[in-house]
Amino acid sequence: MITEIGHFALILAFALAVFQTIVPMYGAAKNDRAFMATAPLSALAQFALVSVSFAALTYAYLTSDFTVKNVYANSHSAKPLIYKISGVWANHEGSLLLWVLILTMFGAAVAVFSNNLPQTLKARVLAVQGSVSSAFLAFILLTSNPFERLSPAPIEGTGMNPMLQDPALAIHPPLLYAGYVGMSVAFSFAIAALIEGKVDAAWARWVRPWTLAAWMFLTIGISLGSWWAYYELGWGGWWFWDPVENASFMPWLVATALLHSAIVVEKRNALKTWTILLAILAFSLSLLGTFLVRSGVLTSVHAFASDPQRGVFILLILCFFVGGSLALFAWRAPTLKAGGIFAPLSREGALVINNLFLAVSAFAVLTGTLFPLVFEALTGGKISVGAPFFNTVFGILIIPLLLLIPLGPLLSWKRADVLGAMQRLWAAAAIALLVALFVMAFKERGPWGAPLGIALGVWLIAGSITEMAERTKFLRVPFSTFMARLKGLPGAAIGMTLAHIGVGVTVIGIVAITAWKVEKIVALKEGASIEIAGSTVTFVSETPSEGPNYSAETGRFDVTVDGKFVTTLYSQKRVFRPSRQPTTEVGIYPYWSGDLYVVMGDAINTGGRTVRVYFNPLAPLIWLGTVIMFIGGMVSLFDRRYRVGAPKRAKQTAMQAAE
């Protein structure tokens, strides 16, 4: 019964979404207040209906109702509670329902938090949101109904992919989807602005918090996925340049560009057309990501079984929204009034460079990701484009951008004194150079460029702090004045500094693990040991054990340094019921200098096990940096300016507020 209620709520939500697409849009065109006023109401009702639907599916999972086909195919009564819940979205149908749930949640949030929007803009934004949810609700109802029943009902379910039974992966999809789907708000604002033919500082200020929120979710979602791959898959790596990873990384790059260009629109009323285009592209790439993951057109190590017919449906949705929005852009963008002008060497100029490099990097990733498809279509040959391509191209494109990051915030608007800004960065440059020399002197091996890579990260951190010190006149005014200035800084400025420091921290982690990772693969019998990066790892014993829905062989490894006991690591081989699918659990010990990473492999005929041991220098910094970026986004989001409300749409006030 509850299942049928869930299905019915979903159908009602679809009808409401279609209504929300048409009526407010018509109302905005005719300037009919009553019609426009239906938009927020239907956005809220739609969210409520999809929530009911989602709750119904969750209930079916919690009660292990195997009369529901989706539950039967993806769950098992012996599964721990948290994975019964995360099982809801660990499959195609359920994950799409989650996608729509988050989409309607954003729609409802826009309805609630945008009281200061002009009514026509609000109606149009919500109408575009409605069109996106109509498309995806139709997709679910027609091709991927999670509420399908099974008769006769099986006694037990077939279980959930054991690799996905992990705390990080339980929350990874919701966060990533919040990022993907959050981009729909910026998209809807862009489309609404194109229809209205008006983009100004107020518009940018309304869009920015939404983009920022989506960007934060995307950042932390990607980071969690990478962290999971690092400790769960047992291959010692953290990023594979796999199509599915790229699918989430491309929208992130474009969203980052959008965050920066929206500042130019807000403060200087320039780059308007470009910002609109970025908003469209960011969401288009999110849709492309959904398509790549859900259709299985690209071979991916992440690929789960997929269905080409569903792929075609998503492809149609993709074509409609991307094609439609770009056509609208081509038609309406020339009518937007051009904004303020600036010299190439200025804060605006620096942000344009930032945008160029980020957009081109996204383009490079897109090319590498789709090239195998194009190649096969043209020649019939099958190829793969892997890490060497992406590391080369992405590295070349991103390093100049990273080098310029500390400089940008020191430049003034309109026309800047670049030489002066560079002079103010001498201390940061000196620190970075010293670190490079220090690393060069003490490193025993690794590529020659690695110390420079570390220096780049240090430069980013020191340079970002320099900008903050400049703003607060650190050491040049009494300490109390400095503190007062620090407290007076807008949240956005502190957020920016934090985010840039986060990038630096991540860069250091990436350079260190790439340059100085140590990997050893050995056959070890119980009692034997191996030396790695100063540690001695001894394979002590191997014992069988039982988990709630798996049986395991646990390898115990004692770690000693210079004969002194440090820790015991456990690495497990688990075999899950009922699928008999094996998984590996990695043992990780974090030294301050990096992770010791032990994986117990297969048994060897002559006794003992294959054992893989890694030392991953400074690896945790990769994810720590993304957490700092996330916090930066959060601080920026709580900037007072977004709370006191956007400036009036009169040009004069907008300019004043921008100062």
Contact between 521 and another protein (CB under 8 A)? yes
Please identify which residue in 90, 465, 511, 622 interacts with another protein, judged by CB under 8 A: 90
Instruction: Give the footprint of another protein on residues 205-234 (CB under 8 A).
Output: 233-234
Q: What span, in angstroms and rounded, lies between the C-alpha atoms of 316 and 287?
A: 11
Contact between 606 and another protein (CB under 8 A)? yes
| 3-state SS class at 215 | helix
Contact between 327 and another protein (CB under 8 A)? no
Phi, psi of 604 (to 5 degrees): -105, 145
Task: Give first-to-last CA distance, the chain, whole Å.
Answer: 59
Nearer to another protein, 69 or 205 (CB): 69
Q: Long-range contacts: 520-527, Cβ < 8 Å, 24+?
A: 520/612, 520/613, 520/614, 521/601, 521/610, 521/611, 521/612, 522/610, 522/611, 522/613, 523/604, 523/608, 523/609, 523/610, 523/611, 524/608, 524/609, 524/610, 524/611, 525/607, 525/608, 526/608
Please identify which residue in 328, 522, 530, 561 interacts with another protein, judged by CB under 8 A: 522
Contact between 640 and another protein (CB under 8 A)? no
Contact between 341 and another protein (CB under 8 A)? yes
Contact between 612 and another protein (CB under 8 A)? yes
Contact between 91 and another protein (CB under 8 A)? yes
For another protein (CB under 8 A), the number of binding residues is 70
Please identify which residue in 76, 84, 92, 267 interacts with another protein, judged by CB under 8 A: 92
The closest alpha carbon to 527, from 586, 605, 590, 611, belongs to 611
Please identify which residue in 151, 480, 605, 652 interacts with another protein, judged by CB under 8 A: 605
Residue 572 neighbours by CB under 8 Å, 6+ apart: 545, 552, 553, 554, 555, 584, 585, 600
CB of 561 to another protein, least distance (A): 25
Under a CB-based contact definition with an 8 Å cutoff, are residues 658 and 205 in contact? Answer: no
Tokens matching residue 622: 């990769």
CB of 201 to another protein, least distance (A): 18
Q: Is beta strand 609-617 parallel, antiparallel or unpaired with respect to 564-576? A: unpaired
Contact between 304 and another protein (CB under 8 A)? yes
Under a CB-based contact definition with an 8 Å cutoff, are residues 414 and 343 in contact? Answer: yes
Contact between 153 and another protein (CB under 8 A)? no
Nearer to another protein, 245 or 467 (CB): 245
Nearer to another protein, 234 or 625 (CB): 234
In 443-581, where does DSSP find H-type helix? 450-472, 479-488, 491-516
Please identify which residue in 64, 226, 572, 584 interacts with another protein, judged by CB under 8 A: 584
Contact between 582 and another protein (CB under 8 A)? yes
Contact between 167 and another protein (CB under 8 A)? no
Contact between 373 and another protein (CB under 8 A)? no
The one-letter amino acid at 518 = V
Q: What span, in angstroms and rounded, lies between the C-alpha atoms of 615 and 611?
A: 13
Contact between 149 and another protein (CB under 8 A)? no
Please identify which residue in 316, 484, 523, 644 interacts with another protein, judged by CB under 8 A: 523
CB of 525 to another protein, least distance (A): 11
Tokens matching residue 409: 């915030």
Under a CB-based contact definition with an 8 Å cutoff, are residues 459 and 511 in contact? Answer: no
CB of 389 to another protein, least distance (A): 4
The DSSP bridge partners found for residue 564 are: 561
Among the listed ranges 2-10, 48-56, 108-116, 301-309, the one in contact with another protein (CB under 8 A) is 301-309
Please identify which residue in 152, 388, 544, 563 interacts with another protein, judged by CB under 8 A: 388
CB of 488 to another protein, least distance (A): 34
Contact between 151 and another protein (CB under 8 A)? no
Nearer to another protein, 21 or 583 (CB): 583
Please identify which residue in 67, 116, 306, 560 interacts with another protein, judged by CB under 8 A: 306
Cα atoms found within 13 Å of the Cα of residue 625, Cβ hemisphere only: 23
| 3-state SS class at 586 | coil
The closest alpha carbon to 300, from 370, 218, 230, belongs to 370
Instruction: Give the footprint of another protein on residues 344-363 (CB under 8 A).
Output: 344, 352, 356-357, 360, 363
Under a CB-based contact definition with an 8 Å cutoff, are residues 10 and 53 in contact? Answer: yes
Give the Cβ contact number of residue 125 at 10 Å. 31
Instruction: Give the footprint of another protein on residues 435-494 (CB under 8 A).
Output: none
The one-letter amino acid at 426 = W
Contact between 152 and another protein (CB under 8 A)? no
Instruction: Give the footprint of another protein on residues 261-300 (CB under 8 A).
Output: 296, 298-299
Nearer to another protein, 67 or 560 (CB): 67
What is the residue-wise DSSP string for 340-372?
----SSSHHHHHHHHHHHHHHHHHHHHHHHHHH
CA angle (241, 242, 248) in 5-degree steps: 85
| 3-state SS class at 232 | helix
Nearer to another protein, 84 or 122 (CB): 84
The residue ranges that bind another protein (CB under 8 A) are 69-70, 73-74, 90-93, 95, 158, 161, 163-164, 233-235, 296, 298-299, 301-307, 338, 341-344, 352, 356-357, 360, 363-364, 367-368, 371, 375, 381-386, 388-389, 392-393, 396-397, 521-523, 573, 579, 581-584, 599, 601-602, 604-606, 610, 612
